[in-house]
Amino acid sequence: MAYKRILLKLSGEALMGDRQHGIDPKRLAEYAEEIKTIVNQGIEVAIVIGGGNIFRGVAGASNGIDRVQGDYMGMLATAINGLALQSAIEAAGIKTRLLTAIKMEQVAEPFIKRRAVRHLEKGRVVIFGCGTGNPYFTTDTAAVLRAIEIGAEVILKGTRVDGIYNVDPEKHEDAIKFDTITYKDVMNKGLKIMDMTAFALSQENNLPIIVFDMNTQGNLEKVIAGKNIGTLVDK
C-alpha cells in the first residue's frame, strides 16, 4: 500500500448521484463499499464531506440570506451528509465516528484531534462534519486542515472527473490530463482544484493531493495501491 492514513474529500454534490438535489441512497451505498474495501486492507480513513447538495452560503447570499447565516446553514448541511454517510458505511459493516466542528452532542462527537487519531488507530472511519466551523471557509479547506492535524499522508479528492486537465474536459474534447503536476504549475497555469485558501494550506504543509474519479468502481482501491490514476499534485 502506498499510504497508511488518508483523508478522503467528498463533495456534497457527489452524493446526489443523478439527482438534482439531496442524497442518492444508491450512490451512498456504492461509496460505502469502496471505503469498506480499503478499510479492510488496514488503511486508516478519515473523510471530510461537503454540503453543496443541500446548501451553500454563497448561493444563499445571492438570494438575500445573510452570508454568515448561510454559511452556518451550509455547515449544518455537511452534518446531514455526514450522518447519511455514517449510516451507509455502518450498514456495510464498518465502524465509524462522526466528529463535528460545531458541537451537537446528541448526534456527533465534538472534533478533538487526539480523539480523531485514536478512532483511526482503532480502525474506525472518522467523518468530519461542519467544515472548519467558521463561515467564509469551504469544506476543501476543512479537508486540508484536518488532514494536516491528523497527520494524513495525502488528500484524495474524489470527483466526477478523472484528474486535472489543462482545460475543462467537459467543455474541450482535446483537453490534456496531467498524471502529476507541481503546486507551482497549478498556480502558474491558473488551474482550479480547490479554492485558494485550501490550496495554499496544502502547499505550505507539503500535503500531496490526488484528484481522481470516485464514481468508477475500484478506483479508490487503486489510488491507495499507488496506481497512477487521477492526477497527483506535489512539490
Contact positions vs ligand UDP (CB under 6 A):
11-13, 50-52, 56-58, 70-71, 74-75, 77-78, 131-132, 134-135, 137-140, 142
How far is the first Cα of the chain from the last one, in angstroms, to the nearest whole number? 21
Cα angle 230, 215, 175 (rounded to 5 degrees) comes to 45
Task: Output the smallest distance, CB 70 to ligand UDP, in A.
Answer: 6
Q: Is the Cβ of residue 181 or residue 194 nearer to ligand UDP in the bound state?
A: 194
Residue 48: which H helix or E strand, with range?
strand 44-49
Q: Is 23 helix (H, G, I), strand (E, B) or coil?
A: coil
Q: Which residues contact 50 (CB under 8 A, 6 or more apart)?
A: 9, 10, 11, 12, 13, 14, 78, 81, 138, 139, 140
159 assigned binding-site residue = yes
Task: Output the smallest distance, CB 56 to ligand UDP, in A.
Answer: 4
Q: Is the Cβ of residue 12 or residue 82 nearer to ligand UDP in the bound state?
A: 12
Task: Output the smallest distance, CB 146 to ligand UDP, in A.
Answer: 10
Task: Output the smallest distance, CB 209 to ligand UDP, in A.
Answer: 14
Task: Output the smallest distance, CB 119 to ligand UDP, in A.
Answer: 21
139 assigned binding-site residue = yes
Q: Is the Cβ of residue 75 or residue 209 nearer to ligand UDP in the bound state?
A: 75
Q: Is the Cβ of residue 24 or residue 182 nearer to ligand UDP in the bound state?
A: 24
Task: Output the smallest distance, CB 49 to ligand UDP, in A.
Answer: 7
Q: What DSSP designation does 5 have?
A: E
Q: Which residue is nearest to ligand UDP (CB)?
A: 50
168 assigned binding-site residue = yes
Q: Is the Cβ of residue 76 or residue 180 nearer to ligand UDP in the bound state?
A: 76
- In this structure, the strands spanning 154-159 and 177-178 are unpaired
Residue 234: which H helix or E strand, with range?
strand 231-234
70 assigned binding-site residue = no
31 assigned binding-site residue = no
Q: Quickly list DSSP for 168-227.
A: -TTT-TT--EESEEEHHHHHHTT--SS-HHHHHHHHHTT--EEEEETTSTTHHHHHHTT-
Q: Is the Cβ of residue 41 or residue 77 nearer to ligand UDP in the bound state?
A: 77
Query: Residue 157 corresponds to which cell in the numbers above?
Result: 479528492
9 assigned binding-site residue = yes
227 assigned binding-site residue = no
Report whether 211 contacts 189 (CB < 8 A). Answer: no
Q: Which residues are annotated as a binding site?
A: 9-12, 51-52, 56, 71, 132-139, 159, 165, 168
